[in-house]
Chains A and B, each alone.
Chain A
Amino acid sequence: MDIKEKMIEKSLLLVALSSISVLALIALFIFGEGLPLIWKIGPKAFLFGERWVPSKGEFGILSMIAGSFWVTLGALLLGIPLGLACAIFLCEWTPPWAGMILRSGIQVLAGIPSVIYGFWGLVVLVPIVRNYLGGPGLSILSGSLILSIMILPTIISISEDSLKALPPSYKAGALALGATHWETIWRVLIPAARSGIVASIILGMGRALGETMAMIMILGNAVKMPSSFLDSARTLTTNIGIEMGYATGDHRQALFATGVILFLIIMFLNALAIVLSRRRVG
């Protein structure tokens, strides 16, 4: 009986360890494939090189870092105010019927796979941008618009939860001191829920940075430094997604190296989200 119990415990430990070691192995593999190439051509040439010509052995990912940066920034510029406004709407100003519609809508938005967003963007949004604003339409602007819709559920639901989690005395106190409802929200509730809101934004940012499929379909994938919001661009993720199918040798390693950079950025953002969300405002 005792031995059997021990064995079960050990085998469960093994199962538990194997489920995280898969993750560790993947990370190890990516770094093992990617790092040698970064050393080979030099971290500086890799990170700050503007030319990406795999056939000539030139691997500079600056334009893709810029692409990822601009698309994500655009998504956040639109997604944060909209998301925060919806979160406030949901916990402070909603008539019940509107809250129900918005909440179930957000669940639907969160459940739509990213290909559908990409497809919709390509068919609807891209022609609109091309016809009214010029450029190829497959652009950072279209990508940002789609991404901002995609990160809305993350921002709204986490911000809403952090606003809801505040002690009711905050609101009651502010109102009792003569603040208007809006002043209570803006000066008291939002600052108090700041850590959760910041965490929601960083998680949304992580999602935007990691998005691949929709961006392959919408961004146009040109390898050049984007100079305006109407230029097409390529992000770190789409670079891997597009070229992995046919890459060999150094080229393949360069894609893994791109993955290493992406991995580091996302890890950094997650760590930041954890640190910021732990800090409570008392």
Chain B
Amino acid sequence: MRINRKRYLTQKVAKILIWMAAISTMGVMALIIFQVLSEGIPVLSPRFFLESPRSMGREGGILSTIIGTIALTVVAIIVATPLGVGTAIFLGEYTREGRISRVISGSWHSDLSGGIYP
């Protein structure tokens, strides 16, 4: 009887610790999101999106950086899409599973997750 009680106590303690871990993870996550939003949202205004930075970024908005980000992303996608899709078609339709196709697709990486999700 005594042993049983100890085992259930262990279970209780473990359960509490795991709940604490889960709650603190959620707490940290909520804290980060909350702080970023609460510091950032008051500054947002239509002008912020429509002006470029002035005097080394102390004034004005972020229009030029938004456009820079979009341009960078568009060019990256334009370059990567034909390469990526072409490689995928080649691997999917013209090769059988083998060493070369695995090297190309880096499927040693998906193999890694393959070992994990059977």
Report if A and B associate in a common complex.
Answer: yes
List A residues at the B interface (Cβ < 8 Å). Answer: 9, 11-13, 15-20, 81-82, 85-86, 88-90, 93-94, 98, 101-102, 105-106, 108-109, 112, 116-117, 120, 123-124, 149, 152, 158, 161-162, 165, 180-183, 185-186, 195-196, 199-200, 203, 270, 273-274, 277-278, 280
With A and B bound together, what is the CA distance between A270 and B109 in angstroms? 9
The answer, among B14, B26, B32, B113, for a CB contact under 8 Å with A186, is: B14
Whether A274 contacts B87 in the complex (CB less than 8 A), given A15-B82, A86-B25, A180-B11, comes out as no
Whether A158 contacts B116 in the complex (CB less than 8 A), given A93-B15, A102-B26, A182-B11, comes out as yes
Which of the listed residues A85, A93, A149 has the most CB atoms from chain B within 10 Å of its own CB?
A: A85
The answer, among A20, A120, A180, A278, for a CB contact under 8 Å with B36, is: A120
With A and B bound together, what is the CA distance between A85 and B33 in angstroms? 22
With A and B bound together, what is the CA distance between A18 and B84 in angstroms? 10
Q: Judge whether A199 and B116 touch: CB under 8 Å.
A: yes
With A and B bound together, what is the CA distance between A221 and B44 in angstroms? 32
Whether A18 contacts B83 in the complex (CB less than 8 A), given A116-B36, A120-B35, A277-B112, comes out as yes
Q: Judge whether B29 and A108 touch: CB under 8 Å.
A: yes
Residue of A nearest to B31 (CB): A124
Q: Judge whether A16 and B90 touch: CB under 8 Å.
A: yes
Whether A16 contacts B116 in the complex (CB less than 8 A), given A89-B18, A89-B21, comes out as no
Contacts of A116 in B (CB 8 A): 32, 36
Q: How far is the CB of B48 from chain A (nearest CB, A)?
A: 17
Which of the listed residues B24, B32, B35 has the most CB atoms from chain A within 10 Å of its own CB?
A: B32
Whether A162 contacts B26 in the complex (CB less than 8 A), given A18-B83, A81-B21, comes out as no
List B residues at the A interface (Cβ < 8 Å). Answer: 7-8, 10-11, 14-15, 17-19, 21-22, 24-26, 28-30, 32-33, 35-36, 39, 82-84, 86-87, 89-91, 94, 103-104, 106, 108, 111-113, 115-118
With A and B bound together, what is the CA distance between A123 and B7 in angstroms? 45
Q: Judge whether A13 and B94 touch: CB under 8 Å.
A: yes
Q: Judge whether B116 and A93 touch: CB under 8 Å.
A: no
With A and B bound together, what is the CA distance between A109 and B25 in angstroms? 10
Contacts of B35 in A (CB 8 A): 120, 123-124
The answer, among A12, A85, A124, for a CB contact under 8 Å with B17, is: A85
Contacts A/B (CB < 8 Å), 28 sampled:
A12-B86, A12-B90, A13-B94, A16-B87, A19-B84, A20-B104, A81-B21, A89-B22, A90-B22, A93-B15, A105-B30, A108-B29, A109-B29, A116-B36, A120-B32, A123-B35, A149-B28, A158-B116, A161-B113, A165-B116, A165-B118, A180-B7, A180-B11, A183-B10, A183-B11, A186-B14, A196-B116, A277-B112
